[in-house]
Each structure stands twice: as structure tokens, then as C-alpha cells.
Amino acid sequence: MALSHFGGQRSPFDSIYREMRDLEHSMINPYWHRANHLNFNSAADVGVVVNDENKYGLNLDVSHFRPEELKVHLDGRTVTVEGSHESHTEHGTTKRSFVRSFLLPEDVDIAAVHSSLTNDGHLAIEAPKAATSRGRSIPIGRAIENGKQQQQQANTKKSKEKLNLFLNFQNA
């Protein structure tokens, strides 16, 4: 920014202009435009791994890939992350890809595994730990003799039939 007319001093609006420019660039250019494309080890390192009593989670830097170029797949206890990018210019073709697999611990709730992509291109994969068997109270139910159970089922069936007859009579 050039010096302004304020006696050789910078304009008081320079900092506002700079902040507005940075905001505009962050809105127009998604995270994969700001990635260091000279780094050929994209997604080679796992950033942070959390494995505590409440959850398991890992974080990958996938800033070289657009969201539509990424896949996360769960097969049994194995999570596989894939990324594939290809670009063509008049000078040639650039292709970049990776595949990373992670074995989830035994105490992870497989049904609750989820992933999310942050605005700066970090893929987070998390899952809560399954409820551990610390011991619990088991209620004691009353056993119904076989004959009584059949009688109760027959009474329930008769009650449903009477209700249906009543409803059909009202609708007629």
C-alpha cells in the first residue's frame, strides 16, 4: 500500500483495508488454494491422535485435496481415507493421491464413527468409546408359566379384535 496524503504517514484506514482484503481472500479462495503444493508428503503424517477413556480420534492434513476428492470408508474396524487429485494444464498433468488405513481399538463404538472437514483442510475422524462393562444391576423379571402366557396372548388378541370391530362400526 502506498503512503497516503497524511504527511508521509500511513492512512488510518490501512489496517481496515488489510483486514477486509484478508477476509475477502479467505472467502474467495478455499483452503486447497492456500496449500503448499511443493509439499509432496500430503496426508503422510497423522496430526493428532486422541485415545482416551471417552473417545478415539485422529486428524489428517488433507489441505491439498478438495472435499469431493476425499473418501472415508469403514470396513469392520479398519478406517480407510483416500484422496485423489488430478489437474491438467497446457504444460502437462499433475496427479496426487494417497491411501491411509487405521485400525480402530476394540473399545470404540463402530456404529458412531464420523468424520468432518475443517475450513483449513484438516480431516477429523472420531468415535466415542463403547460403554464398558463396569458392572450394573440386572432387574429380575417374574417368569410367567407357559399356560398363563398363552392365556394373556389370547386375551390381548381378543381385545385388539374388539377394538377393530368398534372402529369399523364407527367409520361405517
Q: Which residues belong to the annotated binding site for Zn(2+)? A: 85, 91
Assigned C-alpha cell, 83:
484422496
Task: Determine if residue 129 is left, alpha or beta; phi over 0 gives left, psi from -120 to 50 gives alpha, anything else beta.
Answer: beta
Assigned C-alpha cell, 3:
503512503
The answer to whether residues 105 and 79 touch, using CB atoms and an 8 Å cutoff, is no
Element (DSSP H or E) covering residue 152: helix 146-171
Residues in binding site? 85, 91
The answer to whether residues 110 and 77 touch, using CB atoms and an 8 Å cutoff, is yes
